[in-house]
Structure 1
Amino acid sequence: MAVDKKLHIVMFPWLAFGHMIPYLELSKLIAQKGHRVSFVSTPKNIDRLPTQLPPHLSPFLSFVKIPLPQLHTLPPDAEATSDLPYDKVQFLKEAFDALKQPLSDFLQTSDADWILYDFAPYWVGQEIGPNLRIKTAFFSIFILQSLAFVGPMSGDSRMKLEDFTVPPDWIPFPTTVAFRHFEIKKIFDFVAGNATGVTDIDRFKMSAHYSDLVVVRAFPEFEPEWIQLLEDIHHKTVLPVGQLPTSEYDLKEDNPTWQSIKEWLDKQAKGSVVYVAFGSEAKPNQHELTEIALGLEQSRFSFFWVLRTRLGLSDPEPIELPEGFEERTKGRGVVCTTWAPQLKILGHESVGGFLTHSGWSSVVEAIQSERALVLLSFVADQGIIARVLEEKKMGYCVPRSELDGSFTRDSVAESLKLVMVEEEGKVYRERIREMKDLFVNKERDEKLIDGFLSYLKKHRNNVDEQDH
């Protein structure tokens, strides 16, 4: 009977909204099954998450605030990657590593059965789990291809930039999955190191290596060979839990922000608007911003652009739209520099295409609403995601220079025209529609969550051996 006892699962995501949101979605799905979830993060992040829960879930999902240690290298208000320019994120990792003790203290009194942790706190699987006899699962919000590209704990001899621009030799089937020169150059500290003394690539490898289980944001029908490859690389069970699409947050129709956006969208023709957004931590530089803006203007499409002009108050390089741009595009385009409800905008029938940074959560949201994708990657594994989408004809990349990633207003305008209206781009519009039923399948996702939870029940520490 021990197996039927409800689980207590602790969630510990990295301090980026693209990580915290999928962790929160999985938490809700677990809570819906009557298991207890403790979602651990820092106070400011928890306050910024959509934590209003339906009454039937609140008894099962609690939010645990652990203050972030103050480092002199980190602005006092910064608790997430979106609060910082890219070069300061290494100090956020430093502060995050200092949560090891407070997290241990919480877990010691928590009666947790499992802790699901992200790529950054590899020490959860390495030390905390074994010391406290709590089972650990590395839950990766990264796509399977990015995880496979990172590779095994040993036998990876890649050191130079060029080594990362080709598929690694442990991928046994043909693929284009690799970084382009400008993509890996921008994030080469991933391999070369940062202020914490532990590289990101090593964090990934150790997180998988020391865990009792690897949990991935995926489903078997889309890429079965990649799930198998990950099992071969890490010699352990890899469990997919679905794509975890963002659930419609409870944004009432009379919400003033949404009202004014909706009024504008209602006036536009069906499928005529380009939605432009680059996520919470990707920011174009000034030259790129100018080319994107002038490309939008040149394309003659209506557009709704959610623009972040700076990453937190410590960002030394805020960016500005070209002079006269807003006047010249008045009525045809809207630039929004505050929060906007992306799911609702993508769901509006006037939106035809999405110019995106290729962040996976945004891609899944676009597929949910069947919006054609034009891709412009900036950081992290967005380049790898762009390769996968291109390979599957699910998105079109704006042509760029291989070495520095530069692109022109002409290539932005032409890419938008191709994907939005031209015959040649029809394949991208149709492919996204075909993918919707595969990506949005409640019945299958329900089964994946059930399988995942029954594995956790069966393999928790306090279960009798015969239940294994």
Structure 2
Amino acid sequence: MESMTNPSMETADKLHVVMFPWLAFGHMIPFLELSKVIAQKGHTVSFICTPRNIDRLPKLPPNLAPLINLVKLQLPKVDKLPDNAESTIDLPYDEVKYLKMAYDQLQQPMTQILADLAPDWVIYDLAPYWLGPIATKLGISSVFFSVTIAASVCFISPVQILKGLSGEDDRNTPEDFTVPPKWIPFKSNIAFWLFEIKRVFEDASTANDENVPVTYRFGAGIEACNVLAVRSSYELEPEWLKLLEEIHQKPIIPVGQLPTMGYDSCDNDEAWIEMKEWLDKQPQRSVVYVVFGSEAQPSQAELTEIALGLELSELPFFWVLRIRRVMPDSEVIQLPRDEG
């Protein structure tokens, strides 16, 4: 965070930064890790999230805990949202829209919190597209933090297209997204596989009209911020970070991959001991790590294909597999049986 170009970030002895992530663990954990990085520099962080999610976060390292204040913000009740559902992990995919509806009702409470705390900066996620203008009105500098790499942010398009305010995007069919868009000026093979983008189109066609589209949220969030931060580095994708700055005309800060700063000791966990012993025996950079995060779950057919593909690769792999997305009605997926 020291690289931010705002003079107050460079001269102040101690800053107060508010963090406000979307309610998915694939977002909350990177936001928490970024909070730790900021706290390591001696700044104070207010990490704002719902009570149940805060209770489920990893414990903070003792040396950083005094600088990171975990603020519990109650999620409003909305129709069809179960009482204890505070994260995407608590819901079937088609019910996440109700979580977004409840989340959007946090505008007034967040306005009051920011007014009361009067932080130097607020760092927000893609879902609260409404927070940037609130921060501006309160005189608070803001950062839009993308938990994905710069290439993916470049691919999804400029702000005006994301917000549906421009006719420049001629991508109308799934096939159009299987090649790089026209605003990428260099050779690249980054694009969707057809089966991936078909699913995106199917999800969009069944979306509830009451929800603000995720593309609009992303575009409005970027448009309103002072600085755009991405979970990336110049060593990983220098050309994409440069393009991202050209597209959005905002300062870009790559914050790194933000690996988890572990605190909870696993030394007495027998399962972890066994896994660690196996990992220690593998050659460096030889193990394939497979994980789909807290929101995505492959179908049984997809899981079987992935498992067979990993087997055919003959590479050692470490797979974090969630066999059930949410209780009690989700499909339970299972690894294919070894017929050998």
Mapped contact 2:297–2:325 kept (Cα < 8 A)? yes
- Spell out the pairing of 1:44-83 with structure 2 (5 A cutoff): 44-54=52-62, 56-83=63-90
Q: For 2:317 and 2:184, locate their aligned partners in 1 and report how far apart those are by CA, in whole Å.
A: 40
Structure 2 unaligned blocks of 5 or more: 1-6, 161-165
Amino acid aligned to 2:52: K
The counterpart of 2:150, out of the listed 126, 144, 148, is 144
Give the C-alpha shift of residue 88 in structure 1. Answer: 2.1
The counterpart of 1:32, out of the listed 11, 25, 40, is 40
Number of equivalenced pairs? 322
Give the C-alpha shift of residue 252 in structure 1. Answer: 3.7
Partner SS state of residue 117, structure 2:
coil
Give the C-alpha shift of residue 273 in structure 1. Answer: 7.2
Give the C-alpha shift of residue 199 in structure 1. Answer: 1.1
Mapped contact 1:189–1:199 kept (Cα < 8 A)? no
What per-residue deviation string (whole Å, max 9, x for no partner) do you get for residues 285-332 of structure 1? Answer: 12223344455667787766432121111543222344xx37x78xxx
Q: For 2:307 and 2:229, locate their aligned partners in 1 and report how far apart those are by CA, in whole Å.
A: 39
The counterpart of 2:192, out of the listed 161, 176, 179, is 179
Q: For 1:120 and 1:227, locate their aligned partners in 2 and report how far apart those are by CA, in whole Å.
A: 22
Give the C-alpha shift of residue 20 in structure 1. Answer: 1.2
What per-residue deviation string (whole Å, max 9, x for no partner) do you get for residues 273-293 of structure 1? Answer: 766543322212122233444
Q: For 1:164 and 1:129, locate their aligned partners in 2 and report how far apart those are by CA, in whole Å.
A: 34
Give the root-mean-square deviation of aligned CA atoms: 2.8
The counterpart of 1:8, out of the listed 12, 16, 20, is 16
Give the C-alpha shift of residue 210 in structure 1. Answer: 1.0
TM-score, structure 1 length as denominator?
0.62
- Cα distance change of structure 1 residues 210 and 295 upon mapping to structure 2, 3 Å threshold: closer
* Residue matched to 1:308: 322
Q: For 1:50 and 1:314, locate their aligned partners in 2 and report how far apart those are by CA, in whole Å.
A: 25
Structure 1 unaligned blocks of 5 or more: 330-468
The counterpart of 2:173, out of the listed 137, 160, 165, is 160
Mapped contact 1:31–1:57 kept (Cα < 8 A)? yes
Amino acid aligned to 2:126: F
- Spell out the pairing of 1:211-226 with structure 2 (5 A cutoff): 211-226=225-240
Q: For 1:139 and 1:219, locate their aligned partners in 2 and report how far apart those are by CA, in whole Å.
A: 14
* Residue matched to 1:234: 248
Give the C-alpha shift of residue 224 in structure 1. Answer: 2.1
Q: For 1:225 and 1:301, locate their aligned partners in 2 and report how far apart those are by CA, in whole Å.
A: 31
Question: Structure 1: which 4+ aligned runs deviate by more than 6 Å?
Answer: 297-303
Q: For 1:93 and 1:205, locate their aligned partners in 2 and report how far apart those are by CA, in whole Å.
A: 17
Partner SS state of residue 103, structure 2:
helix
Partner SS state of residue 59, structure 1:
helix
Q: For 1:316 and 1:191, locate their aligned partners in 2 and report how far apart those are by CA, in whole Å.
A: 21
Q: For 1:294 and 1:231, locate their aligned partners in 2 and report how far apart those are by CA, in whole Å.
A: 41
What per-residue deviation string (whole Å, max 9, x for no partner) do you get for residues 347-386 of structure 1? Answer: xxxxxxxxxxxxxxxxxxxxxxxxxxxxxxxxxxxxxxxx
Q: For 2:57 and 2:312, locate their aligned partners in 1 and report how far apart those are by CA, in whole Å.
A: 37
Q: For 2:236 and 2:276, locate their aligned partners in 1 and report how far apart those are by CA, in whole Å.
A: 34
Amino acid aligned to 1:134: I
Q: For 2:185 and 2:315, locate their aligned partners in 1 and report how far apart those are by CA, in whole Å.
A: 43
What per-residue deviation string (whole Å, max 9, x for no partner) do you get for residues 95-125 of structure 1? Answer: 2111112211211211211100011111011
Question: Which is higher, the Rg of structure 1 or of structure 2?
Answer: 1
Q: For 2:87 and 2:329, locate their aligned partners in 1 and report how far apart those are by CA, in whole Å.
A: 13
* Residue matched to 1:246: 260
TM-score, structure 2 length as denominator?
0.84
Partner SS state of residue 188, structure 1:
helix
What per-residue deviation string (whole Å, max 9, x for no partner) do you get for residues 177-228 of structure 1? Answer: 2112111111226765833432111111111111111112222233222122
Partner SS state of residue 214, structure 1:
strand
Is 1:85 matched up with 2:99? Answer: no
Amino acid aligned to 2:124: Y
Q: For 1:206 and 1:132, locate their aligned partners in 2 and report how far apart those are by CA, in whole Å.
A: 18
Is 1:129 matched up with 2:142? Answer: no
Partner SS state of residue 189, structure 2:
coil
Partner SS state of residue 133, structure 1:
coil
Q: For 2:309 and 2:247, locate their aligned partners in 1 and report how far apart those are by CA, in whole Å.
A: 43
What per-residue deviation string (whole Å, max 9, x for no partner) do you get for residues 68-116 of structure 1? Answer: 2222322322222222232222222222111112211211211211100
Amino acid aligned to 2:190: V
- Spell out the pairing of 1:21-420 with structure 2 (5 A cutoff): 21-54=29-62, 56-126=63-133, 128-154=134-160, 155=166, 156-157=168-169, 158-188=171-201, 194-195=207-208, 196-262=210-276, 265=278, 270-271=282-283, 276-293=290-307, 305-322=319-336, 325=337
Q: For 2:150 and 2:288, locate their aligned partners in 1 and report how far apart those are by CA, in whole Å.
A: 29
* Residue matched to 2:4: none
Give the C-alpha shift of residue 250 in structure 1. Answer: 3.0
Q: For 1:150 and 1:303, locate their aligned partners in 2 and report how far apart those are by CA, in whole Å.
A: 31
Q: For 2:233 and 2:291, locate their aligned partners in 1 and report how far apart those are by CA, in whole Å.
A: 26
- Cα distance change of structure 1 residues 319 and 103 upon mapping to structure 2, 3 Å threshold: same
Mapped contact 2:228–2:252 kept (Cα < 8 A)? yes
